[in-house]
């Protein structure tokens, strides 16, 4: 019987392993995490992961070779995007396993994110309800291009670096909810800390924009709604 020999099985599972290998360095996972927010071009991505453009291009090619990422040419820019939402689901599954079972991850996360114990996040369902009622101010504190690529309907675009500058212009009668890329993104935490320090009532959204979008909750796109 020529079906089912060990050599072919090894080759097949090595094929699966190639996909895992594409995620086997932190830089490439950072790229996935950013690309889950929407498509970006190489220079932006290089800045996001704090690497040279050449190295970033190399990593993007590796992701593309594994089928995780696709490209689109626009003028002389090349935009990268995730091949499908499945890739985001894989990244989420990886996160879940790592946080649940990898012992060092708690301390690594605490080193990066700081102590979150004092800050209770707000759930997606509750935020959706309160957005309907209009008694909450939602801030998208990710970088501009990610807001433009897609954001929670009704959210205002204030990247965390611009927050201090625009603090005074915020209406002061509403509780503030900040959100960013996902559960291991630091932007919303930074925003909540600064808002709290300024005496505002502020919480972060559990998870981030991709999870809101994938849950089928209302989203909008374009730079339109702008700051403030």
Partner DNA sequence: AGCCTGTTCAAGTAGACACTTGAGCACCTT
Partner DNA sequence: AAGGTGCTCAAGTGTCTACTTGAACAGGCT
Q: Which residues contribute to the site for DNA (CB under 7 A)?
A: 21, 24-25, 27-28, 41-43, 51-55, 57-62, 71, 73, 75-79
Binding range to its own copies, per CB under 8 A, among 15-23, 142-150, 171-179, 211-219: 15-23
**Residue 103's binding partner, choosing from DNA, its own copies, none, with beta-carbon cut-off 5 to 8 A by kind?**
its own copies
Among 53, 97, 215, 221, binds its own copies (CB under 8 A): 97
Whole-angstrom distance, CA of residue 51 vs CA of residue 43: 10
Alpha-carbon span 192 to 200, nearest angstrom: 9
Please state whether 121 falls in left (phi above 0), alpha (psi between -120 and 50) or beta: beta
CB of 16 to its own copies, least distance (A): 5
Q: Are 179 and 152 in contact (CB under 8 A)?
A: yes
Please say whether the beta carbons of 140 and 155 come within 8 A.
yes
Question: Smallest distance, Å, CB 193 to DNA?
Answer: 29
Active site residue 157: no
When asked if residue 200 is in the footprint of its own copies (CB under 8 A), the reply is: no
Can you tell me which of 46, 66, 152, 157 binds its own copies, judged by CB under 8 A?
A: 66
Chosen residue from 44, 190, 203, 208 binding its own copies by CB under 8 A:
190
DSSP type of residue 122:
B
DSSP classification of residue 41: E
Residue 84 binds to its own copies (criterion: CB under 8 A)? yes
3-class DSSP assignment, residue 117? coil
- Rounded to a whole number of angstroms, the minimum distance from the CB of residue 4 to DNA is 19
Helix (H, G, I), strand (E, B) or coil at 135: coil
* Residue 55 interacting partner from its own copies, DNA, none (CB closer than 5 to 8 Å by kind): DNA
Which residue blocks in 103-186 are alpha helix, DSSP H? 105-113, 124-133, 144-149, 163-166
Choosing among its own copies, DNA, none, which partner's interface includes residue 61 (Cβ < 5 to 8 Å by kind)?
A: DNA
* Partner whose footprint covers residue 168, from DNA, its own copies, none (CB < 5 to 8 Å by kind): none
Nearer to DNA, 79 or 124 (CB): 79
| Rounded-to-integer distance, Cα 8 and Cα 15, Å | 11
Q: What are phi and psi of 155, to 5 degrees?
A: -80, 155
What is residue 210's three-state secondary structure? helix
Q: Is 58 in the site for its own copies (CB under 8 A)?
A: no
Residue with the two structure tokens 């995490």: 33
87 binds, among its own copies, DNA, none (CB under 5 to 8 A by kind): its own copies
Interaction between residue 202 and its own copies (CB under 8 A) = no
The catalytic residues are 180
């Amino acid at each position: 019987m020529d079906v089912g020999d060990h050599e072919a099985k090894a080759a097949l599972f090595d094929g699966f392993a190639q996909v895992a290998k594409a995620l086997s360095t932190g830089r490439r996972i950072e790229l996935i995490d950013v690309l889950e927010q929407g498509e970006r071009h190489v220079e932006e991505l290089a800045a996001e992961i704090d690497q040279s453009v050449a190295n970033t291009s190399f990593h993007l090619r590796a992701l593309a070779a594994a089928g995780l990422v696709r490209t689109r040419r626009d003028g002389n820019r090349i935009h990268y995007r995730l091949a499908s939402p499945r890739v985001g689901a894989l990244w989420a599954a990886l996160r879940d396993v790592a946080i649940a079972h990898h012992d060092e991850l708690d301390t690594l996360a605490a080193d990066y994110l700081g102590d979150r114990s004092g800050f209770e996040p707000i759930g997606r369902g509750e935020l959706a309800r309160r957005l309907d009622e209009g008694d909450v101010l939602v801030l998208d504190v990710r970088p501009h291009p990610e807001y433009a690529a897609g954001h929670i309907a009704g959210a205002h675009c204030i990247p965390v670096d611009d927050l201090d500058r625009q603090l005074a212009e915020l209406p002061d009668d509403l509780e503030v909810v900040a959100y960013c890329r996902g559960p291991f993104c630091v932007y919303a935490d930074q925003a909540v800390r600064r808002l709290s320090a300024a005496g505002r009532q502020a919480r972060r959204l559990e998870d981030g924009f991709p999870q809101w979008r994938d849950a089928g909750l209302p989203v909008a796109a374009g730079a339109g709604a702008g700051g403030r």
